[in-house]
Structure 1
Amino acid sequence: MITIKDNIIKLDFHEETLHCDIYADGTKWTWQHNYQPYFKYNGKDVLFSEAKNVSHKRYDTGIGFGLVSHYENFEQVPELCFETYIWIELSTGDVHFEWIPITEPASGMDEVVWPGAMDFMCDSEDWYTLLNWGQGLLIPNGWETTLGKVPFDGRMCTEGSYMPWFSQIKDRNGYIAICEQPEDAGYRAAHESGEAQTSVGMVLYKSLGSMRYRRTLLYHFEKDCDYNTMCKFYRNYTKEQGTFHTLREKAARADVEKLVGSMFVHAGIKTRVQPESRFFDPEAPEKNNHLTPFAVRTKQIRHCYEKLGIKKLYLHLDGWGDPGYDNEHPDYLPACIEAGGWEGMKELCDTIHDCGYVFGTHDQYRDYYFRASTYDESSAIHLEDGSIPSHANWAGGNQTYLCATQAPYYVKRNFLELAAHDIKLDCAYLDVFTCNEPDECFEPHHKMTRKECLEFRSRCFAYLLSQNILSSSEEVADWSVANLVFCHYAPYDFMMRRPEEPKQGIPVPLFNLVYHDCVIIPWMMEKHENEDYMLYALINGGAPYFDRNGAYNGTDGAFGAGSDFTEEEQKKRCEQVASLHEHVAYSELVSHRILDKTGLRQQSTFADGTCVEVDFSKGTYKITVNG
């Protein structure tokens, strides 16, 4: 065993098992006993220990000290040589794990599963795991519901991991593990019903066919902590990295204030489901296509203003282009001719502004439809073998994916055309950019890493802001905070499943504890038989959905309203949420507390002193406003 230590942290490295034990302030953290460090080569597991040449040496620098391990001469992969560096940072006591390729084969490396998942076995509810699946999930040891499949296999920068970290806390001592190259990484988590542990560990993925570059992970240890502590550590970490940008900063670039305190309305114009789409219903053709004229939406807006007296409202408009919702992107223009064309759309836009409301459009620059008039296979994502991916999941039918290197040009082309027809947009929603995984592309003329993909997506948001158009996307993601103003939603994981399904843990607002004052998040307002989602809007200090018509029933949380509120009742509910949002939109969510073991009573406190307490079992809430 090799030991390295400072005054707070001690590392024991076991040469026989290649395991690492960490002692932080007297608390021991050790990898699961059955874990063996490994990587995948051509789909097969290869253990680190299979290297014929393995050596370890201490390495000290001016910033820290640790252990370098050298691995080479693998029988299955003779070209491969890599090192790991585990070291303690002198100034902070943080532990860094680095995987460093020295030489590797041109292809075949798939992933590296290292460092190991922590041994977290204990029959105690005071031991829990934090996952950034959606808004945030806390899984106590012994939780009675099995953890299901994480979206996108737990890849970071997706719905499965809004932020690139996970955390475990035992008896108020914990660690947070941060991946510093999240675009090429993910996590794997498992919890069985009633089991006295949750397993979670990091996975490092190849980039453009090989591991390519050094991967770094930061482990920070805390004593006397909870999930708030870990979120605030990460908030400070993002500030140190220069990636933290508040709504007030963005308000210097575009008019953010007009969206604060607004009610959200999600409505559409034209739907056309192609025969090859999985949503096509040959037995009920009336379900496949429908049309709502712009004039009907104009009338709806006037009704909200004149009859209901709604003061602030945002209309998110689907299906406004002539091809119809999720059809022929990125060649979506002109405005739907059958619905009234450019004139009808302009009348709707002008009416919205006459009422003092805010207008935004749904658009799409990843799904690349074969029916698009300018479709060109050479602009599509190309896989490592030279093929292009394809499917027919959505209404538009057969499609592939547009390489993100091309997206900013299409965004600029289309939005200049909208402006040329005097459609003055306040907001724009670029679909799936913050929900789906980053792409990589092997096409030689626009080869692209996943990191570059995210940079091109962010450039699209930045362009919108440069035109005083507030930027939005499907969900939220850590990488997008610099240029994203709001989103379609950032729900808890359970909200994306049917209301009767059991929760996989206790919903906690991990994302909002880091970024509440950076992004505007609207919340579902349905009231189901056993739960009122309005309470989640309040506890999170978010904006309300006055009317939310999901494009595809039975997916993306669109499972029906669950109750029959009148317009006036819904307005009153939304007014309460919107009023709170107007008060706290620019405030940090300072703390969140779980007030009972079931997680059904919760409390949030904002930086201005506003406190919200909810009881999900009773459907009650209390708001205390300071000032």
Structure 2
Amino acid sequence: MTSIEVNSIRICFDEESLRFTLYRKETAWEWSESYIPHFEWEGGKIEFKDADSISHERVENGLGVGIRSRYQGFSIEGSQVPYTFETYVWIEKTTEDIYFEWIPICEDGIQVKRVYWPGAMAFENKREDWYTLLNCQQGLLIPNTWETELGPLVFDGFFGTAGGYMPWFGQVKEGEGCLALCTTPWNGGIQAKHPAGGPYTHVNVYFEPSLGRMGYRRVMRYTLMSRCDYNDMCKAYRTYVNEQGKLRTLREKAAKVPAVDRLIGSGFVHAGIKTHVCENSDFFDPNEPDKNNHLTTFAERAAQMRELHEAGAKKVYLHLDGWAQPGYDNQHPDYTPACEEAGGWAGMKSLADTMDELGYMFGIHDQYRDFYLSAPSFDEDYACRLTDGTIPQHQRWAGGPQSFLCGTQAPYYVKRNFAAIRENEIHLDCAYLDVFTCNEGDECSNPRHRMSRRDCYEARNQCFDYLMSKGILPSSEEVNDWCVPSMVFCHYAPYDFMLREPGSPKFGVPVPLFNLVYHDCLIEPWMMDRVSDDEDYMLYALLNGGAPYLLRDGAYPNFDGSFETLGLGLKEDIKRCDVVCKLHEKVAKCEMVRHEMVDGDYTIQRTVFADGTAVTVDFGKQTYEVVYGMDGK
């Protein structure tokens, strides 16, 4: 057993089991007994202990104290290969943070698929004050006593996706906490297991290769905390992001593009023009052909906007799907011209002008990831290519067969397409670049435009930045840690249960982890459906200080949260939205400073914002109370 210590932090390392135990004073965080350090390759699983040569050394330098281990040489199908890696676990003297580093040294002989290290913590006590925090969409808190089994995380918990809005997770036991933060998140994620009723929740980290190789050092940072809760962990992460220079607030974005202030407090309307589902699409319905094609003219949409105005809707943002000739989710990135049957460029300009006249805001749906084979510019040479030379394809969406456009090309297509819109004198306030912020970054091995996932995220942000430079507020499907500096708003940032059929069991207690970090950085519209007599999503919109959906007509029925709900009528919808809009006007630029369970009751929750505004909701009684701070009324 090797032990190192810095101030109140101590690490013990068992050279036989290769397991670590972390201590803050007397509180121990040890790896689960079931965990064995290992990695996967195409031939199966290889344990770290199977290395031909294993050595450990104590390291002390100007930054801290650590343990470096070297694993050299492995026997693969009867042959010795020189594959070598190191691990380095060390304590930073200045902060007392603990770093776990996995470092590739020689990658000859084995093509790794996944490294599972560091291990899951033993977290076994069936107590309500033992809980786990997961950044699956808006946020999830799982007490060890939670009765519902945790289902699969979307995107397998991959960081940078809807399954990992932020690259960290945390665990708290009786006020003692362990915050696990990935500082190299581009090719990593988490897996989590919580059986029905507990008594444990295990969370493990995994890392995948980039362009066929592990390539670079992978780092997890553990912060051990005392007298803490999930609020403290969110604020610790906010501090980390700020130190990285990536905390960009709405105030800063509004200083660059003042239209941000117009969007704050708006009711969101999601509507479309043309739907065309191709026969070779998985969504095509041969039995009900009317579902496959639909058209609403630009003039009809303009009339609808006037009706909203006459009904009393004060501030509105219209997100317009299917505005181009190919129809929704067809032929991207070659999406222009405007739909001729709906009125063409002139009709679209008339709708945009109507929005201006009404004092409303106007934006369009667009797409620069899906690369449709039917697109005139389709060329396999610019599609994402895997390291084995293959080009992934599918036919899920309305436009039929597609591959994925290499992200390096997306900024060029954005410039081309938005130039065409400007040439037709259509004024856009906003633009929505679909799927960028919920899907993983792509990789491309084509040497002409080789791209890692990290490169891909940077290219997506370039698209957002270009729109901002033209005074157009950029948005995308969900939110994510990496897009915060460049994006202004999203389609939604929901709790995970909101995208499942209403009434489905919740995998834990929904908590606004993302908003506790980033509320004042992005505008998030929230579903407002009263899905049943027992659940009203308006309460979540209020609790999160977000913008409301006034009307939401999803492109694909019973998909992405678009389910049949209780109809309330337009006047009631506007009345409910006015309540949420008023709150959003007040707190959009305020940090969410705290979230709490009132008297420990999960069904009664309260959020407090930096201006003192407090929102309390009772999910059991379906009631809310808003108390405005400072000069609010």
Q: TM-score range by the shorter chain?
A: over 0.9
Find the counterpart in structure 1 of residue 386 from structure 2.
Answer: 383
Tell me the residue number matched to 1:289. 293
Name the amino acid aligned to 1:342.
W
Give the CA deviation at 1:598.
Answer: 5.2
CA distance in 2: counterparts of 1:473 and 1:79, whole angstroms: 45
* Equivalent residue number for residue 521 of structure 1: 524
Structure 1 residue matching 2:363: 3-state secondary structure: strand
Instruction: Quote how far apart the aligned CAs of 1:106 are.
Output: 6.9
Distance 1:373 1:20, change over 3 A: same
| Alignment counterpart, residue 222 of structure 1, candidates 219, 222, 225 | 225
Question: Distance in 2 between the 1:411 and 1:57 partners?
Answer: 52
Q: 1:158: Cα distance to partner?
A: 0.3
2:536 to 532, 538, 542: 532
Deviation beyond 4 Å, 4+ runs, structure 1: none
- Contact map agreement 1:106 1:210 (CA 8 A) in 2: no
Encode CA deviations 1:123-178: one digit per residue, 9 max, x unaligned: 10100000000100000002111111111111110000000000000001011111
Question: Is 2:273 the partner of 1:272?
Answer: no
1:611 has 2:614 as partner = yes
Task: Tell me if structure 1 keeps the 8 A contact 2:284–2:398.
Answer: yes
* Aligned mate of 2:331, from 324, 328, 332: 328
Structure 1 partner of 2:515? 512
* Partner Cα separation in structure 1 for residue 419 and residue 349 of structure 2: 15
Is residue 2:109 matched to residue 1:102? no
C-alpha contact 1:106 1:209 (8 A) present in aligned 2? no
Shift of 1:309: 2.1
Residue 262 of structure 1, aligned match among 263, 266, 272: 266
Alignment partners' CA distance in 2, 1:200 and 1:242: 29
How much has 1:47 moved relative to structure 2?
Answer: 0.4
Question: What does 1:588-627 correspond to in 2, within 5 Å?
Answer: 588-595=591-598, 599-626=602-629, 627=631
For 1:458, the aligned partner's letter is N
- Which amino acid in 2 is paired with 1:113? Y
Residue deviations 1:225-253 (CA, integer Å, cap 9, x gap)? 00000000000000001111001111122
- Secondary structure of 1:519's match? coil
Q: Indicate the residue corresponding to 1:422 in structure 2.
A: 425
In structure 2, distance between residues paired with 1:180 and 1:91:
17
One-letter amino acid matched to 1:78: V
Which residue is 1:312 aligned to? 315
Cα distance, 1:342–1:106 mapped onto 2, change above 3 Å: farther
Deviations 1:548-586 (A, max 9, x none): 0111111100112x2121111110100000000000000
Kindly indicate whether residue 39 of structure 2 is the aligned counterpart of residue 35 of structure 1: no
Q: CA deviation at 1:621?
A: 0.3
Q: Give the aligned residue type for 1:203.
A: Y
Gaps of 5+ in 2: none
Q: CA deviation at 1:111?
A: 1.4
The residue type paired with residue 26 of structure 1 is: E
Distance 1:107 1:289, change over 3 A: farther
Alpha-carbon distance in 2 for matches of 1:324, 1:309: 31
8 Å Cα contact 1:97/1:115 also seen in 2: yes
Deviation at 1:442, TM superposition (A): 0.6
* Equivalence for 1:556: 560
- Indicate the SS of the match to 1:617: coil
Matches within 5 A, 1:171-182: 171-182=174-185
1:558-577 aligned within 5 A:
558-560=562-564, 562-577=565-580
In structure 2, the residue corresponding to 1:145 is in which secondary structure?
Answer: coil
| 1:113 and 2:116 are equivalent in the alignment | yes
Residue number in structure 2 paired with 1:159: 162
8 A contact 2:363–2:430 mirrored in 1: yes
Aligned equivalents of 1:505 and 1:34: distance in 2?
A: 24
Amino acid at match of 1:482: P
Give runs of aligned pairs for residues 76-87 of structure 1, distance below 5 A: 76=76, 78-87=81-90
**Deviations along 1:373-416, whole A, 9 cap, x unmatched?**
11111110001111110111110011010000000000000001
Answering whether residue 488 of structure 2 is matched by residue 493 of structure 1, we say: no
The Cα of 1:526 is off from its aligned counterpart by: 0.2
CA distance in 2 between counterparts of 1:67 and 1:216 reads 15
Q: What secondary structure is seen at the aligned counterpart in 1 of 2:448?
A: helix
**How far does residue 25 in structure 1 lie from its aligned partner after superposition?**
2.7
1:358 aligned residue: 361
State the distance in 2 between where 1:587 and 1:25 align: 36
- TM-score w.r.t. length of structure 2: 0.98
Query: Cα distance, 1:43 vs. partner?
Result: 4.7
Q: Which amino acid aligns with 2:368?
A: Y
C-alpha distance after superposition, 1:282-323 (max 9, x if no partner): 001011100000000000111111x21221100000000100
Q: How many residues align?
A: 625
Q: Distance in 1 between matches of 2:290 and 2:29?
A: 59
Residues 353-389 of structure 1, C-alpha deviations (whole Å, 9 max, x = no match): 1111110000000001000011111110001111110
The 8 Å contact of residues 82 and 109 in structure 2, kept in 1 or not, is answered as no
CA distance in 2, matches of 1:583, 1:142: 37
Give the whole-Å Cα distance in 2 for the aligned partners of 1:303 and 1:315. 13
Structure 2 counterpart of 1:391, which letter? H
Shift in CA distance, 200/323, structure 1 to aligned 2, threshold 3 Å? same
SS of equivalent to 1:75: strand
State the Cα distance separating 1:270 from its structure 2 match: 0.1
1:73 is matched with: 73
Q: Cα offset for 1:195?
A: 1.6
Q: What amino acid is the match of 1:326?
A: D
Tell me, in whole angstroms, the C-alpha distance in 1 between the residues paired with 2:38 and 2:278: 45
| Aligned position for 2:208 | 205
Q: Quick one: distance in 1 between partners of 2:599 and 2:395?
A: 46
Q: Is the 8 A contact 2:6 2:65 kept in 1?
A: no
AA aligned to 1:558 is S
- Which residue identity is paired with 2:466? Y
1 CA distance for matches of 2:33 and 2:422? Answer: 62
Structure 2 residue corresponding to 1:432, chosen from 432, 435, 439: 435
| SS at 1:39 equivalent | strand
- Offset at 1:118? 0.1
Secondary structure of the corresponding residue to residue 454 of structure 1: helix
Separation in structure 2 between the aligned mates of residue 372 and residue 107 of structure 1, nearest angstrom:
39
2:245 is equivalent to residue 242 of structure 1? yes
Q: SS where residue 433 of structure 1 aligns? A: coil
Instruction: Select 1:478's aligned residue among 477, 481, 501.
Output: 481
- What does residue range 55-70 of structure 1 map to in structure 2 within 5 Å? 55-70=55-70
Question: In 1, Cα distance between the equivalents of 2:74 and 2:334?
Answer: 50
Selected match of 1:464 from 464, 467, 471: 467
- Alignment of 1:343 with 2:338, yes or no, is no
**How far apart are 1:597 and its partner, in Å?**
5.0
Task: Give 1:109 shift.
Answer: 1.3
SS in 2 for 1:73: strand
1:598 and 1:160 mapped to 2: Cα distance? Answer: 27
Give, in angstroms, the shift of residue 79 of structure 1: 2.3
The question of whether the paired residues in 2 share the 8 Å contact of 1:322 and 1:333 is answered with yes
Write out per-residue CA displacement over residues 2-44 of structure 1, whole angstroms, 9 at most, x where no aligned residue. 0000221010000000000011132100000121101112251
* Secondary structure at 2:548 match in 1: strand
What amino acid maps onto 1:334 in structure 2? P
Contact 1:105 1:210 in 2 (8 A): no
Conservation of the 8 A alpha-carbon contact between 1:110 and 1:206: yes
